[in-house]
Structure 1
Amino acid sequence: MRLTPLHDLTPEQARLRARLQERRGGVNGPFGVLLHSPELGSRLEELSTSIMRDAALPPRLRELTLLIVARRLDAQHSWLAHLDKGLAAGLDAAALARLARGEEPGFPRADEQILHEFVGQALETHFVDDATYAAALARFGERALVDLVVAIGGFAALALVLNTFQVDLPSGTEPPFPDVTGFRRTRRAGATS
């Protein structure tokens, strides 16, 4: 990790650390970085907890949203932390393997395919076209779409924290994305600068 390890915690940092240990069993992933800014870190942790607990999408689609964001933003740490949770929630292992390789995942469920298209457009073009929006609205409803967009932003913030501050992958794990080496994306064949 790029940041200096914290030894003497301020009262705010100590409170956040205690909350992280209680809620998450430790200070892992992006949360070690967020201790350096305990006020905003506390709010981002609260938001991510609320998204995973309260968003108007089923747990399977919450996990899928996180995994799509992780893949789109090359957040290997997030992917590793949530892959098993996504599988346990009922996501298709073969589709996730294709997603990890940067291929079209071909999700077997219509709601997963709609979600994948919606999240992909939001992250890639920063807009969602009318047809995709209409399909998502019909499938999920207005509240769930608002929650989905907030989830995309929250998960993206955590992915950027992980990658910018180069939070190491858990010991003994293999990087899940073949086109990402360390904290750099390798050039794809035919890619230009």
Structure 2
Amino acid sequence: MSDRLPLPAELTAAQRDAVDRITAGPRGEISGPFVPLLRSPELMTRLQLVGEHIRFGGVLDDDLRELVILTVARHWDQGYEWAFHHPIAVAKGVPLEVIESVGQGNRPHTGRPELCLVWDLVDELQRTGGVGDEVYTAAVKALGEEQVVAAVATAGYYTTLAMVMNVARTPPPPGGARLPSR
């Protein structure tokens, strides 16, 4: 399948402005979901600012954030998200056994307990559209309300990016970890 929305050969003034804004920030480049989102430069700019906060300034522990992202990537079969965030997850302390479980769509059973709780939260939310009292209470007890809200918002943000890239058929970055087949 070919990339439906690659980087445009010529950018409008609004697109150039959006590219300048994203490349001046901590991302330093335009890639992945921001290429198709460039068709709507104002939306891309606003979305990437949410993502910038989540990745570079949010309250969710780094390993938990990366677990949320990989769980969303697995749910949406999103190869770019998986390949891009797999090495970040490893660097942020997510054990390879946990990543392998998530890649197979399974609940992790190793690593710190909060990883399993966050997986439970995001998995139940993705499967049912809500979260029951048992999972919610356990997550709030372990993480606090602020991190639970951050985990849910992170899942929502990366779900948006996954849907955009799936429609655009954004290819994974070369040489990255491949999302396991189901």
Same fold (TM over 0.5): yes
**SS at 2:24 equivalent:** helix
Residue of structure 2 equivalent to 1:29? 32
Match of residue 190 from structure 1: none
Separation in structure 1 between the aligned mates of residue 51 and residue 180 of structure 2, nearest angstrom: 23
Q: Which has the higher contact order (CA 8 A, sep 6+)?
A: 2
Unaligned stretches of 5+ residues in structure 2: none
Cα shift readout 1:62-103 (whole Å, capped 9, x = no counterpart): 111111111111111101101111111111102211221233
Instruction: Choose the corresponding residue for 1:106, options 109, 114, 120.
Output: 109
Counterpart in the other structure of 1:154: 157
Aligned-pair RMSD on alpha carbons?
A: 1.5
Aligned-partner Cα distance in 2 for 1:96–1:166: 24
Conserved? CA contact 1:76–1:177, under 8 Å: no
1:14 to 1, 13, 16: 16
Q: Distance in 2 between matches of 1:72 and 1:175?
A: 14
* TM-score between the two structures when normalised by the length of structure 1: 0.86
Alignment check: 8 A CA contact 2:14 2:41 kept: yes
Q: What is the TM-score with the length of structure 2 in the denominator? A: 0.91
Q: Distance in 1 between matches of 2:125 and 2:111?
A: 21
Q: How has the CA–CA distance of structure 1 residues 173 and 56 changed in structure 2, closer, same or farther, with 3 Å as cutoff?
A: closer
**Residues of 2 paired with 1:19 and 1:140: CA distance?**
33
1:172 Cα deviation from its structure 2 partner: 4.1
Counterpart check, 1:39 vs 2:38: no
CA displacement, residues 86-135 of structure 1 (integer Å, 9 cap, x when unaligned) = 11111110221122123333232110010000000111101101000000
Cα distance, 1:4–1:159 mapped onto 2, change above 3 Å = closer
Q: Which has the larger radius of gyration?
A: 1
Q: Which runs of 4+ in 1 moved over 6 A?
A: none
Q: Which amino acid aligns with 1:54?
A: G
State how far apart, in whole Å, the 2-side matches of 1:48 and 1:66 are. 11
Q: Indicate the SS of the match to 1:57.
A: coil
Q: 1:129 to 1:171 in 2, by over 3 A?
A: same
Identity %, equivalent residues? 31
- For the 8 Å contact 1:114–1:135, the answer to whether it is kept is yes
- Encode CA deviations 1:125-157: one digit per residue, 9 max, x unaligned: 011010000001111111122222111110100
Q: Distance in 2 between matches of 1:72 and 1:173?
A: 19
Aligned length: 179
The residue type equivalent to 1:20 in the other structure is: I
